[in-house]
Amino acid sequence: MEENKRNNKKKKRNRRLLFLAMGIFLFVYGWFWKVYYDVNGTGNNIFNHVNINDKRDGQLASISASEPISFALLGVDNGVVDRADEPGRTDAIIVGTVNPKTKKTTLISIPRDSYALMEGYETSWGDPYYDKLTHAYAFGEAEMAIDSIQELLNIPIDYYVEVNMQGLMDVVDAIGGIQITSPLTFDYQGNYFVEGKKQKLDGKEALAFSRMRKTDPEGDFGRQKRQKMVVEAIINKLLSFSTLTRYQSVLKTMQDNVKTNIPFRDMGNIVAGYRNALDNIQQDSLYGEELWLDEVYYLYIDPYDRLEVSNHLREELELDTVELADLNLSDTDYYYLDDPYYYTDDTYEESYYEESYDETLYQEPEVYDEEESDF
């Protein structure tokens, strides 16, 4: 009798444990399905197909754990300058490669004022048109911006992510802030940063950290470095387990401020298959010198510097390297290269002094005045 009672109690305990385990399983299973449903909805909402020039001869890199991929990060100024009814400009342009074999991610910042071909845009007489790279987005949004980057560096851009720069504040706040060690001491709009001091930044502070230009000894190049620091910190925080508890606010923020051509089905593959490479980020920038054409300022990047960066990225993508002749060179490039076979003064004058030039179309808006704004 006593033995039967003990057996019955044991069976009851086992049933309770079984029901408890089933309850936990159903809760976790339901929670994961809820997360999947929410993430899937956000992924579909931020997806934006773009028709860009094919630089891989039809062999677009697929998201897998074995193939290197390339991407462009575009920080667009739509929200910053309150121009909701017209396309903005790209204030941050970062090209990246992710190679799972070398377990390395390479980020290259491209100055927004870089003198570049506007791929898909022509002069009034049908010749190729050159302008600041930042204007490509204003002329043709993400598609022209990506195509122009591809032409500048002669590399394929497989995927892109576009972020509203004003939305950067919301993104940082949604993930609970980021940790940054400032490379210099400065004060910007009431936000104070100390060289060598690790600080936790909220969205407003992160935006201020990435915007300041005038008091940085490196000017726009220093700002690019700080922008990359913010991007890297956001990526690391997004990949951390702690972000799971904030996933709904993160998704809401992304839905309001992000566009990408990465299909939802591939987003998980990136996190899983490229995690080791994303943990190892190497950064660099394109540098240039002042160039004035028709009283308009540009940043001119030497063709050999472009070639060096191009081949570095192509090697990371496991593509054949190229030569200088494979780059899209302008008359200005041939002038600086002092190449008598491709350049004459007459050609230069004809190409860059257009009588119908409309200064109001291409000049920076008032908020971008070099003396008035840090953007």
Look at residue 84 in the predicted model and tell me its pLDDT. Answer: 54
**195-202 LR contacts (CB < 8 Å, sep 24+):** 201/172, 201/177, 202/169, 202/172, 202/173, 202/177
Question: Does 154 lie in the same domain as 6?
Answer: no
Residue pair 327/310 in contact (Cβ under 8 Å)? The answer is: yes
Same domain, 66 and 42: no
User: Do 96 and 50 meet the contact criterion of CB atoms below 8 Å apart?
Assistant: no
In a domain, 10, yes or no: yes
Query: Are 194 and 60 in a shared domain?
Result: yes
| Number of folded domains that form the chain | 2
How many degrees, rounded to 5, is the angle at CA 43 between CA 37 and CA 45?
105
Q: What is the pLDDT along the chain (375 residues), one digit of tens a residue?
A: 555 555 555 555 555 555 555 444 444 444 444 455 455 555 567 788 888 888 887 655 556 667 899 999 998 877 554 455 566 888 889 999 999 889 899 999 899 999 999 999 988 888 899 999 999 999 999 999 999 999 999 999 999 998 887 777 888 888 889 999 999 999 888 899 999 999 999 989 998 898 887 888 887 778 878 888 888 888 788 777 666 666 667 777 777 788 889 887 787 777 777 878 877 888 888 989 989 998 999 999 999 999 999 999 999 999 999 999 999 898 888 888 875 444 444 443 333 333 333 444 334 333 333 433 444
Q: Do 67 and 37 share a domain, yes or no?
A: no
Dihedral pair phi/psi, residue 166, rounded to 5° = -65, -35
User: Are residues 76 and 134 part of one domain?
Assistant: yes
The backbone region for 55, taken as left when phi is positive above 0, alpha when psi lies in -120 to 50, beta otherwise, is alpha
Residues 20 and 151 grouped into a single domain: no
Rounded to an integer, what distance in angstroms lies between the CA atom of residue 225 and that of residue 252? 28
Distance of alpha carbon 370 from alpha carbon 156, whole angstroms: 33
Q: Is 374 part of any domain?
A: no
Q: Looking at the structure, do residues 149 and 265 belong to the same domain, yes or no?
A: yes
**Within a domain: 36:** yes
For residues 150 and 30, membership in a common domain is answered with: no
Do 36 and 165 have their domain in common? no
Same domain, 246 and 129: yes
192 CB neighbour count, 10 Å cutoff: 13
- Residues ≥6 apart with Cβ < 8 Å to 276: 100, 103
Output the CA–CA distances (angstroms, integers) from residue 246 to 171, 205, 286, in the order listed.
Answer: 11, 20, 36
Domain membership of residue 375 (yes or no) is: no
223 and 335 assigned to the same domain: yes
Q: What is the pLDDT of residue 3?
A: 56
* 373 part of a folded domain: no
Q: What is the CATH number for 199?
A: 3.40.630.190
User: What domain range includes position 7?
Assistant: 1-46
Q: In which region does residue 341 sit, left (phi positive, over 0), alpha (psi from -120 to 50) or beta (all else)? A: alpha
CA separation for the pair 290, 303 (Å, rounded): 15
Residues 93 and 5 occupy one common structural domain: no
Nearest 5 degrees, angle CA 102-CA 328-CA 369? 95
Q: Is residue 264 part of a domain?
A: yes
* Domain membership flag for residue 84: yes
